[in-house]
Amino acid sequence: MRWIMRIIGALVVAVLLLVAALFALPGEKIARLAADQLTARTGRHLEISGETRISYYPTLGVQTGPVSLSNAPWSDKGPMFRAEALTIGVDLMALLGGDIRITELDAEAPQIVLERNAQGEVNWQFSTPSGGTAPQTSAQTNALVLETLFVRNAQIRYVDARAGSDQRLTGLELTLSLPEATGPADMTLKLALPGGTVTGEGQVGQAARFLDGEVSPVSVRFEAPGGTASFEGRAGIAPEATGRLSLSVSDAGKLLAVLGEAADLPGALSRDLGFDGQVTLTPDGRLALREGALRGAGNQAAIEADLLPGAVTQVTARITAQSLDLAPFTGGGSGGGGGSAATGWSRAPIDASALGLIEGDIALNAGSVALGVTQLQDLQTTISIERARAVAQIRRLSVFGGALTGQLVANNRAGLSIGGDLTAEGVDLSRLLGELAGIDRFTGSAGARLNFLASGQSVAAWMNSLSGSGNLETGRGTITGIDLDRLFRSGDVSGGTTIFDATMASFTISEGVLRNDDLRMQLASITATGEGQVNLGAQSLNYLFTPVALKDDQGRGLAIPVRIRGPWASPQILPDLERALQLNADIDREEVEQRAKDRVQSELQERLGVSQEEDESGEDAIRRGLEDKLKNELQNLFK
């Protein structure tokens, strides 16, 4: 019993000594151990001011006054980190054993400055003190463990001298758990913004290596109103990363509002956007995309790209798609036309602001592309963008059943304009005129050359401002709605079909009006010419089409001009009699009258059964025939 009492007494004394030692722990020493460790790891000075005191409940550790962590030597934005107070909780038994095991670190209202200077250096890339070697302190030789870090009501300021931006985020809440010095760190994040709340969670597989500037396995996921993002791979604090990135945007307008951005995106780009693929981010900010899959505006495409983000992102990319529907961006429906006869061309605004966001070269290959006004097939083109001006070199393209090559330009430097220099071969006239102008009267194969320029923010504005020139040649084809052979035989201009062997014409365009004065069309027995204008903006025409019949044996032909006038969907087609008299003025009217008179006399003689005798005029022969017929009828009357 005596030995038992001695053992109990010794335990009581030990406990009392332990409690006394606890109360005698200097708070400043604990804080200084943590500060020395942080300085050794980062090369930045941690300053602790105000009273530092021991806390025993609910957390064993120290509470400090204001603290600050120095910024990079080149920065003039003040401390990189500052807080009104810190609470540092420690594991007593680990501390007595010589280790610093921080069970809790709570920062009150911290302010964090992240900065990139004009040379591309960043203040979050830490270095050790001079010589590259941290001082060998007892704090460094022992393990540093952070069980839980709490950051509440934090403010983050991001300054990018390269991009000329200075942004601030407030209301950040962060929880970080690092239970083992060489183990993983788990993180949760919450950021309250005016447009909504962003939440995140993730894990850094090797936190110590990550904090030392090395690459570590990383898995993170973020969620905000309108979108989500996730990354699985390896990353470093530089920042640098390589792994699988997935982005999904269900409502772009809502997401941009949360991020503090205002953008009036086309409806097609406001929902169902996404990316999934391998990404590599280098410390200098370069981003490489491989095995990427893009989706947006109902389209899907594969992408390989290299980007250097900035105020204007530099891009080199290759995009491949089976099919693309770009009709929502041209103001037309995916089925064709761009505008009906009743409504005219679409006035839906076209947003080309994206041209000012990127520069570089993009190779685009697509099996089919719907533009609203027409459908493209087998597209192979390279697009070069510089200062909001894009130039597309078309290496291969099938359109309207033929082949198209040349160059297209979209310029949004001072308002949107489009232009081009195109050559087409083997184009189906029926598809070309039907899809672009709603005209379905022509068939045949054509070749053409066109250079054009238009400006404005809608298809209607383009068509009303269009200028340029070109030429057209066709082979054998037809024109429905008029039969020129019947026109010459009977003067009938209603219905029928004209077959032509070849057509040639050149034209100019000014303020949306196409003018032509040298149309020449060759038919089997007729040669036709044409002149007039087509108002592309108003979708109307006023054109004089003049067919000339084959010449007679005396070298003369008969011209019957036809005026085509009105809306091109349903124009009026009428003979132009005044023009006909002008064109046929060289015909001998007395001769024409005599021919007509002789024809009438011949038919009358045939019906009366008489023949013109020698030295007898046709009129006398007809008179004699009538007298004989009258005598016979009178004789029959009295029988």
Query: In angstroms, rounded to a whole number, what is the distance separating the alpha carbons of residues 220 and 228?
Result: 11
Residue 377 CA, chain-centre distance (Å), reads: 19
Reading the block at residue 241, the tokens are 């990363």
CA atoms within 13 A on the CB side of 140: 13
Q: What was the pLDDT predicted at 30? A: 61
Cα torsion angle, 24, 30, 33, 39, sign = negative
Return the closest-CA partner of residue 476 out of 429, 525, 440, 431.
429
Q: What was the pLDDT predicted at 391? A: 96
Which residues are CB-neighbours of 511 under 8 A, at least 6 positions away? Answer: 464, 465, 466, 467, 537
**Quick check: 536 and 509 in contact, CB under 8 A?**
yes
Q: What was the pLDDT predicted at 57? A: 59
For every residue of 395-431, which 3-state class applies, written as one string? EEEEECCEEEEEEEEEECCCCCEEEEEEEEEEEEHHH
Q: What was the pLDDT predicted at 581? A: 53
Burial category of 268 from C-beta neighbours within 10 Å (exposed 0-12, middle 13-18, buried 19 and up): middle
Domain ranges of the chain: 24-159, 182-303, 466-583, 589-637
Residues in the chain, pLDDT under 50 = 1-25, 130-143, 333-341, 553-555, 630-631, 633-639
Secondary structure letter of residue 551 according to DSSP = P
Pairing state between β 67-69 and 467-480 = unpaired
- Cα 132 to Cα 43, 216, 453, distances in angstroms: 9, 22, 62
